[in-house]
Structure 1
Amino acid sequence: MKSYQLIHQLISLVEELEAENHSREVSIQDFTGFLLNKVGDPTGNNINNEVRFGNSDTTALDIAYQLDNNISRLFVFMGRYAKSYIKKALEGTSLQTTEDFTALAILLTHNHLSKSELISHNLQEKTSGTEVIRRLIASGLVRQWDDVKDKRSKHIAITAEGKGLLFSVFEHTSYVGKIITGKLTVAEKFTLQYLLQKLESFHLEHYEKKTILNKEDLKRIASETIPA
């Protein structure tokens, strides 16, 4: 049975709870509170259920399974899964990367943007963002023109061809959305959406204000996120 280890751990936890309560019979409510306290203890030992990790360095595992680090690692994995799915949805089109797709989708919702605005909205560095725009223009999916007031600035907008391409791939990217959320219930999806939106608001503010530029900024911002 694949869940044997988990069952053994639960039994051990029940025994620990009973020992704390001596002869009093404990309830499911007691165990729920006890378990949440265990899970929420940042100094507690975490269970290694990550198939990618071995067990040759317990110190590294303890670091990886610290709550914040574990969430960050899972975010990275989710992003990679999503990127691979979107890449498949774009097969057979002139869109080469997920950034090409998201840039074009952003332009679809604006009459026009400056290049720098699009790069910022697409959360990209200037160099990589400029390359994405160059590809879209070369493919005829985006057009550009000089800013009337500032000749150094270029404005860009999606073309009819770009709109047609986007709507042709939306069906497949919708499949991607359903796959990414897996078998979560509707209630779980709403909860996840709420939490992700809360995180998006936090990170977008730091991104727009450029508050994290080096290691010292990482340390400073991290210290400010500790709950009171």
Structure 2
Amino acid sequence: MKSYQLIHQLIVLVEQLEEENSGRKVSIQDFTGFLLNKVGNHSGNLVNNEVRFGNNDNTALVTAYQLDNNIGRLFVFMSRYAKSYIKRALEGTPLQTAEDFTALAILLTHDHLSKSELISHNLQEKTSGTEVIRRLIAAGLVRQWDDKKDKRSKHVAITNEGKELLYQVFVDMNNVGKMITGKLTIAEKFTLQYLLQKLEIFHLEHYEKKTILSKADLRNFVAENIPAE
């Protein structure tokens, strides 16, 4: 049985819980609270469940499996999986990257935007955002014109060709969304959506206010605002 080690760990934990309660019969609620406390205050031998990691440096593994670090690492992995699926969905179209698609989708919902507004909405740096817009214009999916009041500013809007392409791509992108959420239940999807939206609100504020511009900013904000575990 592949899960034997996990079952053995659970039995050992139940025994520990009973010892702490002087042999009193314990409930699933008791065990849930006990288990959460154990996970939140992990110590002892670390079981490596990450297929990419070896077992040469236990200290490094403890750091990697620290709760916030583990969540961050999983976010990175999910992002890379998503990009690979999006790349497949965009095959055979003028769209080269996920950022090309999201920029065009953002423009679909606006009459027009300034280039800087589009780049900001697309969560990109100026250089990479400008390159995305350049590609979309070259492909005839976006048009550009000078701002009448400010000649230094340029506005962009989606073309009819861009709209037509986007609606074609939406079909395959729907499959990307389903692939990303995998076999989660509807309840799990709603829970995940709630948590991700909560994080989006938090991070978007910092992105728009440009509060984290250096390593020092990051270090200071965490020290002053994020509760220690």
Q: List structure 1 runs of 4+ shifted beyond 3 angstroms.
A: 42-47
Alpha-carbon distance in 2 for matches of 1:159, 1:119: 18
Deviations 1:150-182 (A, max 9, x none): 111100000000000000010100001011111
Structure 1: gaps (5+ residues): none
Match of 1:17 in 2: 17
Equivalent runs, 1:64-213 vs 2, <5 Å: 64-213=64-213
Match of 2:2 in 1: 2
One-letter amino acid of the counterpart of residue 226, structure 2: T
C-alpha distance 138-72 of structure 1, shift in aligned 2 (>3 A): same
Whether contact under 8 Å (2:46, 2:62) holds in the other structure is yes
Whether contact under 8 Å (2:143, 2:157) holds in the other structure is yes
Alpha-carbon distance in 1 for matches of 2:195, 2:63: 24
Equivalent runs, 1:47-58 vs 2, <5 Å: 47-58=47-58
Alpha-carbon distance in 1 for matches of 2:45, 2:149: 61
Alpha-carbon distance in 1 for matches of 2:111, 2:15: 64
- Confirm or deny that 1:29 pairs with 2:29: yes
Match of 1:225 in 2: 226
**Taking structure 2 as the reference length, what is the TM-score of the superposition?**
0.96
One-letter amino acid of the counterpart of residue 112, structure 2: H
The percent identity for this pair of structures is 79
What RMSD over aligned residues (CA atoms) do the two structures have, in Å?
A: 1.4
Q: Displacement, 1:43?
A: 5.7
Structure 2: gaps (5+ residues): none
Q: Displacement, 1:40?
A: 2.3
**Taking structure 1 as the reference length, what is the TM-score of the superposition?**
0.96
